[in-house]
Structure 1
Amino acid sequence: MEQKLEVAIRFLTGWLNTNVLTVSTGVQWACVAGTFLLAAAIWGGLGRRFSQWVAENVSNVLAGAILRALIGLGNVVGFLILVQVCVAVFHSLGESPRVLEAASNLAVAWIIIRLLTSIMPNRALAKGVEVSVWGVAALSVFGLLEPITTFLEGLSFSVGEASFNALGAIKGLAMAALLLQIASLASRFTVHRIETIKGLTPSLRVLMGKAVRVALYTAAILFAMSSVGIDLTSLAIFSSALGVGIGFGLKTIFSNYVAGIILLMDNSIKPGDTIEVGTVYGVVRAMQGRYASVLTRDGKEYLIPNELLISGEVINWTYSDSNVRLKIPVGIAYDSDVEKALELLGESVKSVRRVLKTPTPSPQLSGFGDSSVDLELRVWIADADQGVANVRSEILLNIWKLFHENDIEFPFPQRDVLLKADSKLAVTLDRDGD
Structure 2
Amino acid sequence: MNPEIPGLPDAVSDKAIGLWSQVEALLNDLLLPWRLYQLGIVVGIVLVAYLLRMVVAPRMHDWMRSLEGLAKWRMRVLVLLHRRIWLIATMLVAWGVVFVMRELTWPSRSYFVGLFATIVTAWFVVGLIARLIRNPLLRRVATWGAWIYVTLYYLELDDSFGRMLEGLALEFGEFRLTALAILKALVITALLFTGARLVSSATSNRIQGNEDLSPSMRVLAVKILQIVLYGAAFFIGLKSVGFDLTGLAVLSGAIGVGLGFGLQKVVSNLVSGVIILLDKSIKPGDVISLGETFGWINALTARYVSITTRDGKEYLIPNEDLITTQVVNWSHSNDYVRLDINFGAAYDDDPHDVRRLAIAAAKSVDRVLSIRPPVCHIVGFGDSSVDYVLRFWIRDPTEGLTNVRGGVFLALWDTFKENGINIPFPQREVRILGEIPKSPGVVLD
TM-score, length basis structure 2: 0.81
Aligned-residue offset at 1:317? 0.6
**Using the alignment, how far apart are the partners of 1:108 and 1:190 within structure 2?**
33
Q: Which residue of 2 aligns with 1:421?
A: none
1:18 aligns with 2:12: no
Residue among 351, 376, 383 paired with 2:396: 383
1:301 aligns with 2:314: yes
1:98-177 counterparts in 2 under 5 A?
99-110=112-123, 113=126, 117=129, 120=132, 122=134, 129-159=142-172, 162-177=175-190
Partners of 2:337 and 2:394 within 8 A in 1: yes
Partners of 1:256 and 1:307 within 8 A in 2: yes
Letter in 1 for 2:40: A
**Using the alignment, how far apart are the partners of 2:11 and 2:105 within structure 1?**
38
Q: Which residue of 2 aligns with 1:410?
A: 424
Partners of 1:330 and 1:374 within 8 A in 2: yes
1:22-37 counterparts in 2 under 5 A?
22-24=31-33, 25-37=35-47
Aligned-residue offset at 1:128? 5.5
Give secondary structure in 2 for the equivalent of 1:349: helix
Aligned-residue offset at 1:19? 2.6
Partners of 2:130 and 2:143 within 8 A in 1: no
Change (3 A) 1:7 1:85: farther
Give secondary structure in 2 for the equivalent of 1:158: strand
Q: Which residue of 1 aligns with 2:251?
A: 238
Partners of 1:152 and 1:167 within 8 A in 2: yes
1:31-430 counterparts in 2 under 5 A?
31-42=41-52, 73=88, 75-86=90-101, 91=106, 99-110=112-123, 113=126, 117=129, 120=132, 122=134, 129-159=142-172, 162-405=175-418, 406-412=420-426, 428-429=433-434
Partners of 2:15 and 2:163 within 8 A in 1: no
**Using the alignment, how far apart are the partners of 2:21 and 2:406 within structure 1?**
89
Change (3 A) 1:167 1:96: same
Partners of 1:332 and 1:411 within 8 A in 2: no
Change (3 A) 1:163 1:352: same
Letter in 1 for 2:279: D
Unaligned runs of 5+ in 2: 1-7, 437-445
Change (3 A) 1:229 1:393: same
Aligned-residue offset at 1:298? 1.1
Partners of 2:288 and 2:327 within 8 A in 1: yes
Deviates more, 1:373-382 or 1:328-337: 328-337
Change (3 A) 1:206 1:196: same
**Using the alignment, how far apart are the partners of 2:135 and 2:402 within structure 1?**
47
**Using the alignment, how far apart are the partners of 2:151 and 2:104 within structure 1?**
23
Deviates more, 1:338-347 or 1:146-155: 338-347
Aligned-residue offset at 1:227? 1.4
Aligned-residue offset at 1:28? 2.9
**Using the alignment, how far apart are the partners of 1:413 and 1:47 within structure 2?**
78
Aligned-residue offset at 1:105? 3.2
Aligned-residue offset at 1:170? 1.0
Q: Which residue of 2 aligns with 1:420?
A: none
**Using the alignment, how far apart are the partners of 2:406 and 2:73 within structure 1?**
52
**Using the alignment, how far apart are the partners of 2:356 and 2:173 within structure 1?**
86
**Using the alignment, how far apart are the partners of 1:121 and 1:177 within structure 2?**
7
Unaligned runs of 5+ in 1: 416-426
What per-residue deviation string (whole Å, max 9, x for no partner) do you get for residues 287-333 of structure 1?
11111111111111110011100110000011111111111111223
Aligned-residue offset at 1:238? 0.5
Aligned-residue offset at 1:64? 10
Give secondary structure in 2 for the equivalent of 1:348: helix
**Using the alignment, how far apart are the partners of 1:271 and 1:247 within structure 2?**
30
Partners of 1:275 and 1:317 within 8 A in 2: yes
Q: Give the fraction of aligned pairs with identical amino acids, expressed as a percent.
A: 34
Partners of 2:336 and 2:393 within 8 A in 1: yes
**Using the alignment, how far apart are the partners of 1:327 and 1:171 within structure 2?**
67
**Using the alignment, how far apart are the partners of 1:48 and 1:39 within structure 2?**
15
**Using the alignment, how far apart are the partners of 1:67 and 1:412 within structure 2?**
70
Change (3 A) 1:217 1:16: closer
Give secondary structure in 1 for the equivalent of 2:363: coil
**Using the alignment, how far apart are the partners of 2:79 and 2:292 within structure 1?**
53
Partners of 1:346 and 1:363 within 8 A in 2: yes
Partners of 1:291 and 1:303 within 8 A in 2: yes
Give secondary structure in 2 for the equivalent of 1:353: coil
Give secondary structure in 1 for the equivalent of 2:362: coil
Deviates more, 1:327-336 or 1:104-113: 104-113
Give secondary structure in 2 for the equivalent of 1:171: helix
**Using the alignment, how far apart are the partners of 1:409 and 1:122 within structure 2?**
64
**Using the alignment, how far apart are the partners of 2:375 and 2:200 within structure 1?**
52
Partners of 2:304 and 2:319 within 8 A in 1: yes
Change (3 A) 1:84 1:11: farther
Q: Which residue of 2 aligns with 1:424?
A: none
Give secondary structure in 1 for the equivalent of 2:422: coil
**Using the alignment, how far apart are the partners of 1:407 and 1:108 within structure 2?**
85
Q: Which residue of 1 aligns with 2:14?
A: 7
Give the count of matched residue pairs: 416
